[in-house]
Amino acid sequence: MIGANANGNRVAPAASQALEGKTRPEQDAAEPPREIEAKFRLGPEADLPRMASASGLPDGFRAGPQRIALIDDVYVDTATRALMRAGFALRLRQSAGRAKLSLKGIDRAGPSAIHDRIELESEVGSGFAPLDPAGWSPELRRRVLAATGDAPRLLPVANVGHARLIRPILDAAAVDDPAGAVARPIAEWVLEELRVSRPDRDGRRGGLPQVVGEYVEAELELMEGGSRAQLEQLSAHWLAQPGVSAEPASKFEQALRMLAERPTSASGPAGLRPQMGMAAAGRMLLRQQLDEMLLCEGGARDGADIEYVHDMRVACRRASGLIDLFGDWIAPETRAPLTRLFKRTRRALGPIRDLDVALEKLGAHQASVSPSEAKALEAVAKRWRKARAAANPSMLAWLDSRRYARLIVEAEQQLEREGVDPAPGPDSTVGPWQLRHVMPGAILQRYTRVRAYEVPLADLDSVPDERLHELRIHAKRLRYSLEAVLPLIGPAGEEAARRVKRLQTTLGDFNDALVKRALLDAMIADGIDAPAVKAYAKLQTRQARKLRAGLGEQWAPICDRAMRDLIGDALAEL
């Protein structure tokens, strides 16, 4: 763990926004410590013996002697997921008889293997229970209490066991130094087997965690003696190896996803299966979207990266689509809090997202025009930034509300319940209830709903904008229903989903142009009528017309024979 600047990756905020009635703390004058590491996903083709020996390193690097470590981690949070929502994961690590707490930022590394995030560590003080804040370092205690309140009740969220093979990576020049100085590691190479378990929070398993899955991954953590350039060089070396790719998710995120894929009552393989009941499948998929929403909340609160708001809103939209898709098989007491939670959160994020998109596209336009035109458009940017700032308190008021926190608790409790699917008994009426029986009809129904627009779209020039907005909604529902079962519907289903996504993207860009034109017209009506502003408004009209004129290129592949074959082949996989 070293001090460093952010690398442009998506990093959650360093300090939590107001949560559960608490106000946002002031930013420290000194930058908190950061952990910088490269994470690697290992496929079946990966040469594990080669990776274990760290052989074949680039010139200038050498691997030191290996050591083995056995580690048990428990990630903890409040019932309302206050730390996760503030952009943090709190980990209690026990190894070799010692206990240590680490508060890590939740970052979204994107396509890069390199993660750059806050990491505060604290040994547990002698005589204190591990989760008693009185035994922590002052800085760790301050940050945790700012998010959770003065007396947090921390509960186990996920258990992760590690069997680690560790090798220091050394600078070859320092190793060969004739002066005989001790070479300091520039990085630490880790190959590890991990086991994810569900904590026994309700005591129904005698305190024993339930193992939900195992996997192998590799890490390369930058040490005090190394540089960012060296880490990037070593990372590129490993990414060039067969079966090795960048791992964008932290262990905490991976653990949450594995827990979601293996509900408490599930037996057999993890993940979706054609024979799974609709109720169990719906709960599993909704659990995934709830986690995705909460993982994005810290970044959405911070506002430095607009993609957090986007991803959080997408999770809400997907969840609402799942409720519509699986609602008939989910008990009303489970469905109700989920519906309220996702619908209300999506609405709170909507105005922020619209303005984020408008500002992003305005910035791109300013970069493409003359300096004088760009300067004239600053009045537009200033007004939209002011509108976004005005909308932000409304979003935060919802995220800080007791009702939002209560709905999260209710949603988690309902999704963790061991529901029973209505398998027909010997004397009952037989009806469809498994995924393989219900989903083909549900997907086909959504596809026919989209195809119904063949009639109004026969004459694109005369189709009202409202009709295209309706089509966008139905296309989104079709895409989400396909993507919900993507692991089960093969390459045909993937291609069908890609076609729908291209149509949805074009319709989304068309809608964005209309929204921006309306915002600009309102500004012009208020007296901001500089030539550059009027020109930008006219550009939105031209862009909307261009998108409408080109819509046929994206629409034709939705209704042609090839698409119908793709849908048929995808449904046959179920």
For residue 495, give the nearest of 573, 572, 557 by alpha carbon: 557
Output the six-digit token pair for 418. Answer: 């061991």
The H-or-E segment that residue 102 falls in is strand 98-105
pLDDT band at 429 (very low <50, low <70, confident <90, very high): confident
Query: pLDDT tens digit string along 59-68?
Result: 999 999 999 9
In this structure, of 115-119, 235-239, 416-420, the range with the lowest mean pLDDT score is 416-420
The answer on pLDDT for 458 being more than 70 is yes
Cα 351-321-326 angle, rounded to 5 deg: 150
At residue 194, the 3 state secondary structure works out as strand
pLDDT band at 18 (very low <50, low <70, confident <90, very high): very low
Report all structural domains of the chain as residue ranges with CATH numbers, in order of start.
10-17+34-261 (2.40.320.10), 278-418+433-573 (1.40.20.10)
CA distance 56 to 68: 21
In this predicted structure, what is the pLDDT of residue 499?
A: 98
CA distance 216 to 162: 10
**How do beta strands 210-222 and 34-42 pair?**
antiparallel
Give strand pairing partners of 73: 93, 160
Are 424 and 430 spatial neighbours (Cβ–Cβ below 8 Å)?
Answer: yes
The answer on pLDDT for 163 being more than 50 is yes
Find all residues with CB under 8 Å of 124, minimum gap 6, and list them. 99, 100, 101, 130, 135, 136
CA distance 102 to 124: 11
> Average per-residue pLDDT in the chain?
89
Give strand pairing partners of 246: 40
**Is the pTM for the entire model greater than 0.85?**
yes
Are 530 and 375 spatial neighbours (Cβ–Cβ below 8 Å)?
Answer: no
Query: pLDDT tens digit string along 259-304?
Result: 999 876 656 677 899 999 999 899 999 999 999 999 999 999 999 9
**Tokens 């509108």 label which residue?**
387
Give the DSSP per-residue string, 262-275.
S-TT--SSSS--TT
Query: pLDDT tens digit string along 536-572?
Result: 999 999 999 999 999 999 999 999 999 999 999 999 9
The answer on pLDDT for 25 being more than 90 is no
Are 284 and 261 spatial neighbours (Cβ–Cβ below 8 Å)?
Answer: yes
Which amino acid, 93?
A: R
Percent of the chain scored above 90 by pLDDT?
76
Give strand pairing partners of 185: 170
Query: pLDDT tens digit string along 372-424?
Result: 999 999 999 999 999 999 999 999 999 999 999 999 999 999 888 765 566 66
Neighbour count for residue 373 (Cβ, 10 Å): 17
Query: pLDDT tens digit string along 477-502?
Result: 999 999 999 999 999 999 999 999 99
Higher pLDDT, 333 or 148: 148
Given CA atoms 43, 47, 53, 56 in this order, what sign does their dihedral have? negative
Are 116 and 34 spatial neighbours (Cβ–Cβ below 8 Å)?
Answer: yes
For residue 32, give the nearest of 51, 49, 12 by alpha carbon: 12
For residue 12, give the nearest of 121, 113, 103 by alpha carbon: 103
Are 292 and 307 spatial neighbours (Cβ–Cβ below 8 Å)?
Answer: no
**How do beta strands 114-123 and 34-42 pair?**
antiparallel
The answer on pLDDT for 430 being more than 50 is yes
The answer on pLDDT for 253 being more than 90 is yes
| DSSP structural state of residue 465 | H
CA distance 265 to 496: 33
In this predicted structure, what is the pLDDT of residue 421?
A: 64
For residue 202, give the nearest of 210, 193, 190 by alpha carbon: 210
464: phi then psi, degrees, rounded to nearest 5: -65, 150
**How do beta strands 210-222 and 185-198 pair?**
antiparallel
CA distance 106 to 117: 7
In this predicted structure, what is the pLDDT of residue 110?
A: 65
